[in-house]
Amino acid sequence: MFTHITPKTLSSAEIRHINKYFLCDTIAIPADIGLALGTQAANIQNPMCETIGQHYLTGHFNQIILSGAPLIEKSGLSEAEEMADYLRKHKIPSSALILDNDATNTQENIEIARKITQSISMPINTVFCFGNVYGGRRILMTIAKRWPEITPALLLTAPRPDFKDTWQDHTADRERMCWEFNKIAPYTQKGWLTEVNIDAINLKLRIAPRHRQQSNAPHMP
């Protein structure tokens, strides 16, 4: 519907389009493995890690790849290591965490994760992805291009709970959302992205064969 949006002239129709098209989660069901795409923003990464921990403990996956290169403001510490530290402090075992300290963008997040899973003995049919809200649909479109053999679930994390209803009211959010949305058309033209159908992904998630997951939640006395 729209291919380029300007923050200063943002219309109600464009806002609805971004909310429906770009800010798209899938259904959340157990998958063969998890994948977290790191971010420099602590106000997104920390709540994302909290959500990751909750989904691990309820058996959505038994292992998760934490992907992200060194943080700009914290020399020597990668996004992946920061996520791992948070999860370990919240009772997630190190054995469940696979670190990728090299990925510097979404394409590398996906390509390196794909290579990592090729060394895992069990089949990988479904991947539960956790990403920054500003990555939006582009995460799924990158997976469709770079890792087409799997079916991805996606859960986006925002800096605040009401983000989808309020981003248009904040200048910085308006500019960032429009900038991220405007990447879709040129990235697709360059062959970096493949369009996706969310309804079709949800259907595949429901029927895809997957490694049987057991709940990781601690047994109650």
Q: Does residue 212 sit within a domain?
A: no
3-state secondary structure of 208: coil
The count of domains in the chain is 1
Q: Does residue 218 sit within a domain?
A: no
193: left (phi over 0), alpha (psi -120 to 50) or beta: beta
3-state secondary structure of 192: coil
With beta carbons less than 8 A apart as the criterion, state whether 54 and 48 touch.
Answer: no
Residue 129 has which token pair? 């992805």
Q: Does residue 216 sit within a domain?
A: no
Q: Does residue 75 sit within a domain?
A: yes
Q: How confident is the model at residue 219 (pLDDT cuts 50, 70, 90)?
A: very low
Q: What residues pair up with 64 in beta bridges, in sequence order?
A: 34, 97
Helix (H) or strand (E) holding 120: none
- For residue 75, count CB atoms less than 10 angstroms from its CB and return exposed for 0-12, middle for 13-18, buried for 19 or more: exposed
pTM, whole model, 2 decimals? 0.91
Of 94, 97, 113, the C-alpha closest to 37 is: 113
Q: What residues pair up with 155 in beta bridges, in sequence order?
A: 130
pLDDT digits (tens, 9 = 90+) for 136-147: 999 999 999 999
Q: What is the pLDDT of residue 218?
A: 41
**Can you tell me the distance from the alpha carbon of 78 to that of 82, in angstroms, rounded to the nearest whole number?**
6
Longest dimension (CA), the chain: 58
Please report, for the domain that includes residue 23, its CATH number. 3.40.50.620
pLDDT digits (tens, 9 = 90+) for 61-97: 999 999 998 876 656 789 999 999 999 999 899 999 9
Q: What is the pLDDT of residue 186?
A: 97
pLDDT digits (tens, 9 = 90+) for 109-140: 999 999 999 988 888 999 999 999 999 999 99
With beta carbons less than 8 A apart as the criterion, state whether 104 and 112 touch.
Answer: no
Q: Does residue 215 sit within a domain?
A: no
Q: What is the pLDDT of residue 214?
A: 45
**Can you tell me the distance from the alpha carbon of 188 to that of 211, in angstroms, rounded to the nearest whole number?**
32
3-state secondary structure of 62: coil
Of 24, 19, 14, the C-alpha closest to 140 is: 24
**Can you tell me the distance from the alpha carbon of 78 to that of 100, in angstroms, rounded to the nearest whole number?**
9
Residue 42 pLDDT exceeds 90: no
Of 132, 134, 178, 180, the C-alpha closest to 155 is: 132
Q: Does residue 26 sit within a domain?
A: yes
Q: What is the pLDDT of residue 71?
A: 72
Q: For residue 109, what are the domain limits? A: 11-207
Number of H helices, E strands in the chain: 9, 5
Average pLDDT, the chain: 91
With beta carbons less than 8 A apart as the criterion, state whether 48 and 159 touch.
Answer: no
Strands of 97-100's sheet in order across = 97-100, 64-67, 33-37, 126-132, 151-157
